[in-house]
């Protein structure tokens, strides 16, 4: 890359490099926007996330470009929409080297890079010819005993310290801490061990309010708090070694909570996620930023913060102007998201293509295959060849089981149908009045102009960014192999 200086040369200029900021990205796995105390949630306590927000900027309208882990992380790494990255834009496939990731760019500019926990994934980066995970070389050797069985045994903090101990003298660092929490499964009932009461749970309007759902939500909350404790340790270490003020720290998630109608969906609880950024005196503290931002803007933000000029294309826009009081320089009025295949959830490994746009207080969703079931086929064959309930784009959980077991109960059926029932081609939601996306306004005359405007906005963006769904070969997505994860057997479609 012509704008990057050789790695060897960089270490000959230690004095200059010492002035470059370190980059620390801390990313949780499956956490929706409201679920930090900085956003006002009473269900979780997140003092470390809140501290980062207080020392810098808290973003209230941060959207990921995909509601699934692998494509969302690829978008974060590259600054591109998932539909611009071929195999890397779907789930559990490969990640071609032509799509440049920010850790590699920083490495070529003298940074010492690495990651712990979960980097880019699931997927196979080796088959793509990459020398290491797109998040960097792996630091996962140090293990410990977590407080609950479903939590990862990777000692994120100790691995971060190990990474820092190996850093060449004078080199700035770029590190990725990817916790596995609050990804499912959760150890069921850990909320009781933490002394929580069911009244503490905050039940979103797309789930029925009962003890099973509340307990599941509180187990999720415990996992978020474990994630936050790891963040606390890392902040304290940065301060101990005198690097806090010279580190841009970005704390976020890859997609929404693993509950029905959230993760793997383009509703607000699937794609709107936490974001807080601090960077010493370079960012004024106690900022609350309501502008629409996307995770495709994280890579451009890192490049601007580090002063690195790149010559590869990106669709994201740096958020530095927003954080430095230059909002007029941030010319983004809409953010976009989409998904293809998530898990192996349908006959013939078919995906469920969605594209979405958030503009002002509205969210427009286009379901390209409304004849398919959005949460996956209803039935699959088990190991004994017997048909059983499926809907495998929803992670197994007490919440999912409750909906399945009580689907015929008149009080539960609307939630079950909302989670797994077939959907129209277009959905439109007024998030100011309907944050849970339960009242589709797409066919309401009052909203016809808004729907038309947003549909054009979405179509124009997909054409501009060369999305195959807007081109001559929309189903090329179905040709990309699934290289990791369980493969299931479904009855054929008729």
Q: Which residue has the tokens 């974001």?
A: 275
Q: Which residue has the tokens 């978020």?
A: 224
Range 14-19 contact pairs with CB under 8 angstroms and sequence separation of 24 or more: 14/169, 14/170, 14/171, 15/170, 17/110, 17/170, 17/171, 17/172, 18/170, 18/172
β 293-294/112-117 pair status: unpaired
pLDDT for the residue 4: 37
| Rounded CA separation 162/156 (Å) | 10
What is the reported pTM?
Answer: 0.95
**First-to-last CA distance in the chain?**
50
Nearest CA to 229 among 171, 167, 148, 172?
148
Nearest CA to 30 among 59, 69, 58?
69
Calculate the alpha carbon distances from 422 to 371, 388, 395 in Å. 7, 19, 18
Four-CA torsion 131, 69, 362, 300, nearest 10 degrees: -20
Residue 494's Cα: distance from chain center in Å?
34
**Are 44 and 37 spatial neighbours (Cβ–Cβ below 8 Å)?**
yes
DSSP 489: B
pLDDT for the residue 19: 80
| Rounded CA separation 235/24 (Å) | 10
DSSP 242: T
Q: Span 7-327: which CATH code?
A: 3.40.720.10
Other beta carbons within 10 angstroms of residue 464's beta carbon come to: 10
Nearest CA to 28 among 180, 226, 219?
180
Beta-bridge partner residues of 381: 387, 489
What is the C-alpha R_g of the chain? 22
Nearest CA to 225 among 43, 64, 434?
43
CATH 3.40.720.10 occupies which residues in the chain? 7-327
pLDDT for the residue 493: 75
Q: At residue 241, what are phi and psi to the nearest 5 degrees? A: -95, 5
pLDDT for the residue 494: 59
Nearest CA to 28 among 36, 37, 20?
36
- Give me the average pLDDT of each 10-residue run along the chain (494 residues): 34 50 98 98 98 98 98 98 98 98 98 98 97 98 97 98 97 98 98 98 98 98 98 98 98 98 98 98 96 98 98 97 94 97 96 98 98 97 95 98 98 98 98 98 98 98 98 97 94 80
Burial call 81-99: b when 16+ CB within 10 Å, e when fewer: bbbbbbbbbbbbbbbeeeb
């Amino acid at each position: 890359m012509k704008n990057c200086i050789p790695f060897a040369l960089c270490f000959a200029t230690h004095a200059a490099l010492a002035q470059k900021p370190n980059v620390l990205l801390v990313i949780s796995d499956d956490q929706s926007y409201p679920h930090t105390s900085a956003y006002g949630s009473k269900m979780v306590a997140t003092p470390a996330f809140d501290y980062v927000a207080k020392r810098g900027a808290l973003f209230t309208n941060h959207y990921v470009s995909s509601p699934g882990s692998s494509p969302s992380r690829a978008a974060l790494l590259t600054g591109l929409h998932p539909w611009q990255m071929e195999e890397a834009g779907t789930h559990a496939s490969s990640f071609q080297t032509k799509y440049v990731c920010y850790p590699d760019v920083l490495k070529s500019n003298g940074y010492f890079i690495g990651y712990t926990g979960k980097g880019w994934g699931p997927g196979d980066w080796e088959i793509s010819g990459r020398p290491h995970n797109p998040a960097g070389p792996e630091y996962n050797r140090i293990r410990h005993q977590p407080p609950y069985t479903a939590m990862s045994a990777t000692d994120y903090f100790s691995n971060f310290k190990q990474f820092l101990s190996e850093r060449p003298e004078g080199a700035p660092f770029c590190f990725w801490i990817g916790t596995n929490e609050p990804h499912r499964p959760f150890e069921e009932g850990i909320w009781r061990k933490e002394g929580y009461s069911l009244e503490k749970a905050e039940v979103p309007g797309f789930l029925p309010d009962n003890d099973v759902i509340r307990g599941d939500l509180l187990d999720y909350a415990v996992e978020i708090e474990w994630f936050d404790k790891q963040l606390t340790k890392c902040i304290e270490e940065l301060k101990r070694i005198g690097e806090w003020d010279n580190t841009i720290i970005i704390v976020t998630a890859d997609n929404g909570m693993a509950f029905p109608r959230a993760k793997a969906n383009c509703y607000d609880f699937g794609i709107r996620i936490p974001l807080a950024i601090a960077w010493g005196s370079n960012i004024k503290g106690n900022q609350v930023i309501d502008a629409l931002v996307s995770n495709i803007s994280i890579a451009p933000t890192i490049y601007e913060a580090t002063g690195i000029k790149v010559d590869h294309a990106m669709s994201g826009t740096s958020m530095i102007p927003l954080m430095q009081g230059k909002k007029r320089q941030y010319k983004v009025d809409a953010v976009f998201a989409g998904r293809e295949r998530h898990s192996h959830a349908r006959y013939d490994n078919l995906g469920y293509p969605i594209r979405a746009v958030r503009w002002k207080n509205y969210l427009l969703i286009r379901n390209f295959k409304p004849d398919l079931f959005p949460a996956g086929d209803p039935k699959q064959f088990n190991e004994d060849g017997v048909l059983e309930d499926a809907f495998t784009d929803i992670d197994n959980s007490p919440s999912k089981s409750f909906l399945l077991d009580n689907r015929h109960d008149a009080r539960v059926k609307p939630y079950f149908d909302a989670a797994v029932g077939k959907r129209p081609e277009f959905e439109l939601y007024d998030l100011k009045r309907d944050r849970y996306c339960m009242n589709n306004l797409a066919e309401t005359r009052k909203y016809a102009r808004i729907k038309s405007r947003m549909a054009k906005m979405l179509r124009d963006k997909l054409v501009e960014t060369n999305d195959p769904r807007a081109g001559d070969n929309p189903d090329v997505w179905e040709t990309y192999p699934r290289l990791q994860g369980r493969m299931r057997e479904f009855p054929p479609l008729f």
